[in-house]
Amino acid sequence: MQAFKRAFIIVLDSFGIGAEPDAKEFGDGDCNTLRSIVASKEYDTPNMKKLGLFNIDGVGCGTPEAQPIGAFARLRELSRGKDTTTGHWEIAGIISERPMPTYPDGFPPEVIAELEKAFGRKIICNKPYSGTKVIHDYGREQKETGALIVYTSADSVLQIAAHEDDVPVEQLYEYCRMARKIMQGEHGVGRIIARPYVGEYPNYTRTPRRHDFSLDPTGDTMMDALARKGLATIGVGKISDIFAGRSVSRTLGINKDNVDGMEKTLKLMDEDFTGLAFVNLVDFDMQYGHRRDIDGYAKAATVFDRQLGEFMAKMKDDDLLMITADHGCDPGAPGTDHTREYVPLLMYGKHVKAGLNLGTYPTFAMIGATISDIFGADLYTKGESLLPRIIE
Mean pLDDT value across the chain: 96
Is residue 166 annotated as involved in ligand binding?
no
Mean pLDDT, residues 324-331: 98
pLDDT band at 154 (very low <50, low <70, confident <90, very high): confident
Domain extent listing, the chain? 6-98+216-390, 109-214
pLDDT band at 155 (very low <50, low <70, confident <90, very high): confident
Is residue 13 annotated as involved in ligand binding?
yes
Mean pLDDT, residues 333-345: 96
Question: What is the structure's pLDDT at 379?
Answer: 97
Instruction: Residue 197: name the closest of 161, 148, 172, 168 by CA.
Output: 161
pLDDT band at 230 (very low <50, low <70, confident <90, very high): very high
Question: Residue 153 pLDDT > 60, yes or no?
Answer: yes
Domain 6-98+216-390 superfamily per CATH = Alkaline Phosphatase, subunit A (3.40.720.10)
Question: Residue 204 pLDDT > 60, yes or no?
Answer: yes
pLDDT band at 1 (very low <50, low <70, confident <90, very high): low
pLDDT tens profile 273-292: 999 999 999 999 999 999 99
Is residue 285 annotated as involved in ligand binding?
yes
pLDDT tens profile 27-58: 999 999 999 999 999 999 999 999 999 999 99
Question: Which class is domain 109-214?
Answer: alpha beta
Question: What is the structure's pLDDT at 2?
Answer: 83
Is residue 187 annotated as involved in ligand binding?
no
Mean pLDDT, residues 110-135: 96
Is residue 326 annotated as involved in ligand binding?
yes
For the chain, give the percent of residues with pLDDT over 90.
Answer: 95
pLDDT band at 183 (very low <50, low <70, confident <90, very high): very high
Question: Residue 330 pLDDT > 70, yes or no?
Answer: yes
Largest CA distance in the chain: 66
Question: Residue 150 pLDDT > 80, yes or no?
Answer: yes
Is residue 211 annotated as involved in ligand binding?
no
Question: What is the structure's pLDDT at 252?
Answer: 97
| Residue 184 CB-density burial (10 A; 0-12 exposed, 13-18 middle, 19+ buried) | exposed
